[in-house]
Amino acid sequence: MGLADRDCKKNGQDIRLCIDYMMVNAITLIMEYAIALVDDLLTEMESYLWFCSFDAASSFWAIMMTMHARWVSVFVCALGHFEWLRMPFGLKNAPMIYQRMIDNALWGYGQPKGGWEAFAQRMKDAEAKALALRKEFMIISRSSPTSARRALQTKYEADHRALVEHDPLIELINSPTAHMFTVGVPDQSKLVPVFHRRSFVDDICFGGATFDECLETVDRLLARLAECRISVSFTKRVFVQHKVDFLSHEVTNDGIKANCKKLAAFAELPFPSSKKGMQSFLGALNYYGRFIQGLAVYGAVLY
């Protein structure tokens, strides 16, 4: 169970609820799946002249939660007791789960039984059927007398039990063949890699030697994302430009530079006064280590 202890603003605009999953993460086994290395992704960009960047829209919310995962994600706030239907931010294995999904989409490793299109259609049918059943359940619960309802159940328990027993979408997500990575061997996908490179979780950046090559890659990427039911935020996209911001770096056809705003923030950092503060300070410097000559020599005395 998590505790929603504060609200924060992202980019000074949207208010988002922060949930503390510290106790849940402490007893959660880490998922063994490698996140892409930042240096590798940046090095691959040096041979391009044109660049594109996409950011997945509400990326983690594209992952449906199983019933067990829903119980683990329960949190309490001033409005009451809630559980997530989609994968939230803050869970230990959430980045690895999403990275695996986006890697499979970009590279075409495997597909659900019957193919992506058939699975997408099953999801749509289950969602439509679940919505119809929920409306029917609400009408019946309002019209039936109190004596006819189940005894010794709170409203939350009754709604939760009805949802578990009658929701076709939950049945599909919790079915034995829903998880194509852990149940048997997934169908061999006929999909080919989109552009032979990985993303960094939900940040997708790629390029091309020519303008037309970059546009062709955009077409392939959007078609693949649509097929795998992954949406992107077009307010954060960059289409075929000579410069793009990627992972706090400025990538251009002249090379890779550190983000000026991030460097200005480094200059304002106070000198750390504790061991933990020093470790955080050195970790931040190592992120831009490729641009700092002799960093290992100067930092050796601080380790």
Task: Quote the CA–CA distance of 150 and 139 in Å, as a whole number.
Answer: 16
What's the pTM value of the predicted model, to 2 decimals?
0.72
Question: Residues, the chain, total?
Answer: 303
Of the candidates 207, 227, 209, the one whose C-alpha atom is nearest the C-alpha of residue 218 is 207
User: What pLDDT shows up at residue 280?
Assistant: 83
Domain with CATH 3.30.70 in the chain: 37-56+94-255
Residue 86 neighbours by CB distance under 10 Å = 13
Assess whether pLDDT exceeds 80 at residue 133: no
For residues 63-87, give the mean pLDDT: 83
Confidence of residue 178 (pLDDT cuts 50, 70, 90): low
Other residues' Cβ atoms within 10 Å of the Cβ of residue 168: 17
Q: What is the pLDDT of residue 140?
A: 64
Band of the pLDDT at 71, cuts 50, 70, 90?
confident
pLDDT in tens, 273-292: 888 888 888 888 888 888 88
Q: What is the pLDDT of residues 6-15, one digit of tens each?
A: 555 555 566 7
Q: What is the pLDDT of residue 194?
A: 80
What CA–CA distance (Å, rounded) separates 40 from 18?
31
R_g of the chain, CA atoms, integer Å: 23
Q: Rounded distance, CA 160 to CA 156, Å?
A: 6
Reported as a pLDDT band with limits 50, 70 and 90, residue 94 is very high
Residue closest to 51 by CA, chosen among 193, 197, 191? 197
Say which residue, 223 or 11, is predicted with more confidence.
223
Strand 243-246 relative to strand 80-82, pairing: unpaired
Q: Is the pLDDT of residue 297 over 50?
A: yes
Looking at residue 64, its pLDDT comes to 81
CATH architecture, range 37-56+94-255: 2-Layer Sandwich (3.30)
Res. 166: pLDDT tops 70? no
pLDDT digits (tens, 9 = 90+) for 208-220: 889 999 899 999 8
